[in-house]
Amino acid sequence: MNISIIGSGNMAWHLAHKLKQSGNKILQITGRNEQTAIALAEEVNAVPNFLLQNIDVESELILFCVKDDAIQEIAVSGFKTEAIVAHTSGFRSKNLLENCSPNFGIFYPLQTMKKGMEIPFENIPFLVEGSNDTTTQALQNLALELSKNVHQVSELQRQYIHVAAVFANNFTNHLYELAENLLSEHHSSLDILRPLLAQSAQNVQHTSPAKLQTGPAARKDMFTIEEHLKLLSSHEELTKIYSILTESILRSREIQE
């Protein structure tokens, strides 16, 4: 497929490389950042471009790998094409693109992308959706070239998956950060927890988290919970987070019993 990519950040970097590797031709890298657009274009044998109206008419797919807010900016810029246009946002509506082309959709890899990082594409879930059957099919076929884990989902479903990912991924990482801060205040480091975290992450790969829950709240060990809250008494925010998550664990145990 002849593909033009708008953007030259982390997402553009990974998709450009991977799409080229799997046999597609990357015609252009269109970017606002001259330096990164030229660099990425060179890496994937594409032409750097800086104006939407100059996007190669040979493009069969124009992929918006830009920040959420920039999708809308481009969409209202008056840019028009007959090619498929798709964006890679996990949350924004495909309808943002409806004025750009009759053939628009979503091409969303559910993974954190950082330039240069090794990404095991073959397992990454791709969520695709198109404005019509041909578009959906084209996006699905392209995703299947990169991954065996491709899902056609509705907009609402994708949004719930996105918010679930915030709980399971962003919030958990923040809890790691809070733990790290607490440990460093007490002359220790996250290293002491890393083996436990590795083991737990491995367990949740094949077991339901409801079955893996441990800790004082899961044991209804109210004594330890009270003592923990005493240790945290000088940290208002940690106290609030501890209390609300402990209550939530206690409540979910009640539901299960």
Question: For residues 208-247, which are near its own copies according to CB under 8 A?
Answer: 208-210, 212-218, 221, 223-224, 227-228, 231-232, 237-238, 240-242, 244-245
123 lies in the site for its own copies, by CB under 8 A: yes
* Three-state secondary-structure class, residue 124: coil
161 lies in the site for its own copies, by CB under 8 A: yes
Which residues are bridge partners to 47 per DSSP?
Answer: 28
Q: Which of 33, 98, 160, 220 binds its own copies (CB under 8 A)?
A: 160
Question: Which residue stretch of 42-50, 95-103, 129-137, 161-169 sits at the interface with its own copies (rule: CB under 8 A)?
Answer: 161-169
- Give the separation between CA 243 and CA 199, rounded to whole angstroms: 25
128, 152 Cβ separation under 8 angstroms? yes
131, 103 Cβ separation under 8 angstroms? yes
CB of 58 to its own copies, least distance (A): 34
Question: Which residue stretch of 54-62, 95-103, 138-146, 172-180 sits at the interface with its own copies (rule: CB under 8 A)?
Answer: 172-180
Going from the C-alpha of 28 to that of each of 5, 37, 39, 47, the distances in angstroms are 6, 9, 12, 5
Q: By rule CB under 8 A, what string of x and - marks binding of each residue 181-210 to its own copies? A: -xx-xxxx-x-xxxxxxxxxxx-xx--xxx
The pairing of beta strand 47-49 with beta strand 61-64? unpaired
Count of residues engaged in binding its own copies, rule: CB under 8 A: 86
